[in-house]
């Protein structure tokens, strides 16, 4: 295991719209700064630029709320069209909450891809225009794999990709970035069978490597700036056929539903 | 905001026992490697070395289980003395769970300091000898402040300290490090009132800065090696009168109890 690593933020990326070539933009932006990707680099990419370039966005003006959405919208004081979009992205609503001090409440939802998060990850911030909602990419692992193939081929080396979103936590305040799409990067490092520093088995230790990377990216990823790509360099990690699904606790193991 | 940062692991620290001078050891180990701490450096320190040097450990042989502990021990197939220690560290048991495939179950507990985690953070790994349990430091913020003062004074610059532990997450697999003690380092970066890259208010964005640091430390902190101190260099952060309590969601806001 190396004893140090560096992270840098890729500055100067453009805005993205449906059909834009995100991988091409990353390559051009790196090369304009005389930077290259090296073997073992990992890029954490905020999902919004992936979603936008893939067209995973929707305008509220196009949405007609269902009766379910209208009812739920009253409970949490949300635009019923926004609730309709959240329902369309969800397997189920875990909890609908509006505290007295909140103007607009929150729908804790199980996203159709399995992530449990606020409002099924449907978001207005960094949208191109008011009334636009940004969704998660349709298949974030596939998006990560495509980006990874393009970048690995261009720079003639194997890299890893983590696509991230920003989630709250049930028992802790503030948000951290988590991994929602993976290519090459292990979701969880398996340490079962290894020993601790004193020779006893580390039976239940399984660091969530991809989420550690995502959370770390938040140290350099400013929401208020256009800095959606963070490069990690110097880590030693095994190239792995992985999926963001490997980070999702099965409903049968959910202690809190 | 800087566009890059580095992290390095401090190698070569000794084992720690009650009464050992952790700050002094960190200073000696750094200086033996011709390293110094610089203004703005943040050290993430695994709580186990803090707990051990403060004597926050207990031997099972000294523990007599209560009737409550005996009953709960049967439910989750744990040593009743271990359950007694977990109860002594807890405000309440949130859930007692043993799945059929588990030999020993888990007690999700609200630690007396407010953290919700497995077994009230009572842990056997990296203990000095079988039968020893390691607890959290009695007052992790105070421990962090003392370390911070010693190190800042020695190196004549202001640094930050995060004491970390490794927690599981309700809906996601694998563990990440979280912040349980803070000195100088903001728990959460307040971004309310700021605007996103497209000029709209970032009303609910509050990155959990201390937890981002803790999670990132896991990228270089090996459980199976004696590497409990990670140094972050190059971040721009405001020195803040902070507390790990600022990361704990109030029970009134707990959507999941």
Which pLDDT tens digit goes with each residue over A190-249? 876 666 666 666 566 789 999 999 999 999 987 656 789 999 999 999 999 999 999 998
In this structure, the answer to whether residues A193 and A78 fall within a common structural domain is no
**H/E element, B223:** none
Q: Is B238 among the domain residues?
A: yes
Say whether pLDDT at A253 is over 70.
no
In this structure, the answer to whether residues B160 and B189 fall within a common structural domain is yes
Q: Is A1 among the domain residues?
A: no
Q: Which residues fall within 8 angstroms of residue A2, CB to CB, at 6 or more apart?
A: A234, A235, A236, B220
Contact A255 B95 (CB under 8 A): yes
Q: Which positions 57-76 of A are in contact with B (Cβ < 8 Å)? A: none
Order across the sheet with A90-97: list the strands.
Answer: A90-97, A106-111, A116-118
Q: What is the number of structural domains in chain B? A: 2
**pTM, full prediction:** 0.94
- Asked if A188 has any chain B CB less than 8 Å from its own CB, the reply is yes
Q: Report the pLDDT averaged over residues B158-181.
A: 95
Question: What CATH number has the domain bearing residue B245?
Answer: 3.30.1330.100
End residue of a domain, out of B70, B102, B132: B132
Q: Report the pLDDT averaged over residues A54-83.
A: 96
Contact A171 B256 (CB under 8 A): yes
Contact A171 B208 (CB under 8 A): no
Distance from CA of A156 to the nearest CA of B (A): 24
- Asked if B34 has any chain A CB less than 8 Å from its own CB, the reply is no
Quote the domain boundaries for residue B169: 6-55+137-253
- Say if residues B79 and B68 touch (Cβ distance below 8 Å): no
Contact A246 B130 (CB under 8 A): no
CA-based torsion, B6, B11, B15, B21: positive or negative: negative
Contact A4 B6 (CB under 8 A): yes
Q: Is B1 among the domain residues?
A: no
Rounded Cα distance, A204 and A164, in Å? 25
Both tokens of A117, joined, read 């998060």
Say whether pLDDT at B120 is over 80.
yes
- Helix, strand, coil percent content, chain A, rounded in steps of 5: 30, 25, 45
Q: Distance between alpha carbon A208 and the CA centroid of its chain, in Å?
A: 14
End residue of a domain, out of A132, A163, A180: A132
What ipTM goes with this model? 0.94
Say whether pLDDT at B82 is over 90.
yes
């Amino acid at each position: 295991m190396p004893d140090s690593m560096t992270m840098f933020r890729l500055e100067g990326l453009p805005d993205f719209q449906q059909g834009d070539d995100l991988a091409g933009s990353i390559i051009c932006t790196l090369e304009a700064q005389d930077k290259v990707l090296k073997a073992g680099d990992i890029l954490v990419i905020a999902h919004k630029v992936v979603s936008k370039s893939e067209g995973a966005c929707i305008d509220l003006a196009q949405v007609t709320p269902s009766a379910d959405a209208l009812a739920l919208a009253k409970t949490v004081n949300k635009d019923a069209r926004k609730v309709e979009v959240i329902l369309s992205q969800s397997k189920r609503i875990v909890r609908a909450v509006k505290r007295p001090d909140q103007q607009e409440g929150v729908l804790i939802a199980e996203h159709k891809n399995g992530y449990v998060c606020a409002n099924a990850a449907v978001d207005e911030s960094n949208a191109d225009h008011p009334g636009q909602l940004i969704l998660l990419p349709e298949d974030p692992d596939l998006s990560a794999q495509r980006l990874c193939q393009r970048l690995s081929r261009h720079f003639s080396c194997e890299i890893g990709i983590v696509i991230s979103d920003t989630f709250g936590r049930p028992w802790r305040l503030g948000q951290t970035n988590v991994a929602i799409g993976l290519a090459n990067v292990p979701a969880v490092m398996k340490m079962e069978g290894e020993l601790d520093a004193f020779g006893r088995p580390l039976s239940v230790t399984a660091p969530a490597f991809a989420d550690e990377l995502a959370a770390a990216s938040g140290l350099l990823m400013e929401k208020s700036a256009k800095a959606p790509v963070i490069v990690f360099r110097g880590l030693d990690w095994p190239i792995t056929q992985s999926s963001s699904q490997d980070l999702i606790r099965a409903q049968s193991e959910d202690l809190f539903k």
